[in-house]
Structure 1
Amino acid sequence: MHFSKIFAGLAMASSAMAALSPQQIADGIKSITTKSQALQAPAQSITILNAPLIAIGQGPFPTLIAGFQDIVSTGNTLIAQLAGTGPITKRDEKEHARDLSPRGPDADLVFGAFREHLQFVAVHQALLNILIGKAGLLEKIPIIGQPVATVLRAVEGVVDTIAIDLIGLTQSRANDLTSDANSLDNTLQLTISKYDSISTGL
């Protein structure tokens, strides 16, 4: 999914009482980022010898799949909480009078968690790029492809929904969030394609 046309429509959404503060949103994003970062070591450990152990529930892939499922669960919890959260406001009037930038500190906090601080996008892309690089080793092990592609589709659904929600909540950073979300989505789709190919042998 690409997000270039989404935020314009979201700008028309009605306000609601905030269920999460900007700090809580940022903390939720950082929690998912930390979980993704923890999966880089198992992904790096994939070899042609240990990959087939998925058949008996051993090796790195069961850990990776369980980790991605945990990311999906945590992401769905965040999504449910975001559903009742109103738009994140811009700078207050006095601050806005001094600085005409529409980017307020609250919106910057949420955007920072998505890209700048713990780098939600960069960390996920680093993990996915490891999996892309390992895919070439696994062409003769089709049992791996389907479960990995399936869990990555679930991750993609969660990431897409979080991105759409954040774009709607932080209109002042919508363009930046859209660009980052599209970049991550492209990497997810490439990874899914690689593991789909393993499962089909194509």
Structure 2
Amino acid sequence: MQPVARALSSEETVNALTDLTQRAHALIAPAQTINIVNTVEYSVGYGPFVTIIRGQKDITAAGSRFISELDGTQPFEDCTTITSTFKQFVRVNQDYLNVLIAKAGLLDIAPPTVGKPMSTSLREVKGVYEPISTSLISLCTSTAPELTLQAKNLKETLDLTIQKYETLGQRFQNN
């Protein structure tokens, strides 16, 4: 016997997006404390990178649950609140990712200890954000153009952040 897919209501969808937004927002403060010393702290299980990677894994888990809950959901008639909440979700995530991008510039001469774990963790976040975006676009046809633009902007920022952390520490290795 197949389990019955439970469709999410508009309110539940907004709540799930808000939860993901709050999780990303909680990572801004630790991201702002990143410095060269933190790359060494990470190698001994301490510092903001531990908090950030753990938080990104939590986002991935919550996002995966949200994706599975969206399965079977029928298109929404009114998407105003969902679209507004998604815009906030994108803005907060971009704020967080832009801090990471700025900090990556400071770490260019640091040992590459955190680059791979960060880029891997960010790829996992992207792996849930993209299907969430795609689902919302298909469920909210009335606001699909706005959702598509927001999703594109988030994807571009995520891709840049991943690229920055993939190449982190290359100047250190070349010296």
Q: Secondary structure at the match of 2:36?
A: coil
Q: Secondary structure at the match of 1:50?
A: helix
**TM superposition score normalised by structure 1:** 0.79
1:130 maps to which of 95, 99, 107: 99
Corresponding residue for residue 68 of structure 1: 56
**TM superposition score normalised by structure 2:** 0.91
Give CA-to-partner distance per residue, 1:110-144, whole Å, 9 cap, x none. 111101xxx10010000000000001221222011
Q: What is the Cα deviation at residue 109 of structure 1?
A: 1.4
Q: What is the Cα deviation at residue 50 of structure 1?
A: 2.6
1:111 maps to which of 83, 92, 101: 83
Contact 2:123–2:162 (CA under 8 A) maintained in structure 1: yes
2:13 equivalent to 1:25: yes
**In 2, Cα distance between equivalents of 1:141 and 1:54:** 11
Corresponding residue for residue 153 of structure 1: 123
Q: What is the Cα deviation at residue 200 of structure 1?
A: 4.8
Q: What is the Cα deviation at residue 51 of structure 1?
A: 2.9
Q: What is the Cα deviation at residue 84 of structure 1?
A: 1.3
Corresponding residue for residue 148 of structure 2: 178
**In 2, Cα distance between equivalents of 1:79 and 1:200:** 36
Q: Can you give the 5+ residue segments of structure 2 that lack an aligned partner in the other structure?
A: none
**In 1, Cα distance between equivalents of 2:56 and 2:160:** 17
Percent of residue pairs bearing the same amino acid type:
42
**In 2, Cα distance between equivalents of 1:75 and 1:186:** 19
Q: What is the Cα deviation at residue 33 of structure 1?
A: 0.1
Q: Secondary structure at the match of 1:111?
A: helix
Q: Secondary structure at the match of 1:142?
A: coil
- Report the count of equivalent residues: 167
4+ runs deviating over 3 angstroms: 199-202
Structure with max Cα Rg: 1
Contact 2:107–2:169 (CA under 8 A) maintained in structure 1: no
Q: What is the Cα deviation at residue 57 of structure 1?
A: 0.5
